[in-house]
Amino acid sequence: MAEEEPIIKVRGLVKAFGDHVVHDGVDLDVRRGEIIGIVGGSGTGKSVLLHQIVGLLKPDAGRIEVFGESVRDTSDEEYRRLRRRWGVMFQDGALFSSLTVRQNVEAPMREQMNLPDDLRETLAGIKVRMVGLPENAHDKYPSDLSGGMRKRAGLARAISLDPEIVFLDEPTAGLDPIGAADFDTLIRELQSALGLTVFMVTHDLDSLHAICDRIAVLADKKVLAVGTMAEMLEIDHPWVREYFHGPRARAAQGKPRPDEVD
């Protein structure tokens, strides 16, 4: 059987800021329904790659297709249609501080859908419940929430339009290990329940072990390798070796995956 077209296809991506070249020939395929973790040293351009894929930054050269369509060479109307099919959770949650959690989740719906107020509120409430936030959090402002709850609110907003792809920029950064593990479990559960594809920039080795189907390594301005954790352990490259074989990696290897826990 022919292999399914990748849901995200990046070819020959080049991106520089002034004379600082961040990407020089990045290629990447993301498969529908997978959780792919994007790793790499600090400043290797993981967030810049995410921002280019979702059309917030313009590449200098190369091509990016999502759902088989170019993100760049397209009309505003077509880009808006594409954008409705993915959700993004930025590094700090990027919630509107003047809106409550539910209003934050309603914001993309207001922008993109023409719904009666009560239906929109009900739908937003469902999303907030789906990410495990308690009833009393719905009408709170972001500043009244813990870091973990803010992340959940950011995730609720990312899924507000029933996307096919969710982009997560360091979702577990800043969480304590238990909070991070809970968040990993939530991502896996939502991915499986909603059939999502998850593109996740992360530094978190526990997340890579626990929930990622494949890992892509950014190094030397390119995607150096893509594969399973077992495949990463075989790669002979200084950064990859240090990252995947270091003491933190050994600690992460000993932990069970969420689907292995009763």
Ligand X SMILES: Nc1ncnc2c1ncn2[C@@H]1O[C@H](COP(=O)(O)OP(=O)(O)OP(=O)(O)O)[C@@H](O)[C@H]1O
The footprint of ligand X (CB under 6 A) covers 17, 22, 40, 42-48
Distance of CA 109 to the CA centre of its chain: 20
Minimum CB separation of residue 17 from ligand X in Å reads 4
**Cβ proximity to ligand X, 46 vs 120, nearer residue:** 46
**Cβ proximity to ligand X, 108 vs 154, nearer residue:** 154
**Cβ proximity to ligand X, 45 vs 132, nearer residue:** 45
The answer to whether the CB of 137 falls within 8 A of the CB of 174 is no
Which string of DSSP letters, residue by residue, matches 185-240? Answer: HHHHHHHHHHT-EEEEE---HHHHHHH-SEEEEEETTEEEEEE-HHHHTT---HHH
| 5 DSSP assignment | P
Minimum CB separation of residue 47 from ligand X in Å reads 4
The answer to whether the CB of 38 falls within 8 A of the CB of 198 is no
CA-based radius of gyration for the chain: 18
Distance of CA 165 to the CA centre of its chain: 8
**Cβ proximity to ligand X, 58 vs 257, nearer residue:** 58
Indicate the Cα dihedral angle 156, 215, 54, 172, nearest 10°.
Answer: 30
Minimum CB separation of residue 19 from ligand X in Å reads 11
Minimum CB separation of residue 181 from ligand X in Å reads 21
**Cβ proximity to ligand X, 23 vs 157, nearer residue:** 23
Minimum CB separation of residue 30 from ligand X in Å reads 17
Minimum CB separation of residue 260 from ligand X in Å reads 29
Q: How far is CA 103 from CA 99, 122, 135, 160, in A?
A: 6, 11, 14, 11
**Cβ proximity to ligand X, 42 vs 136, nearer residue:** 42
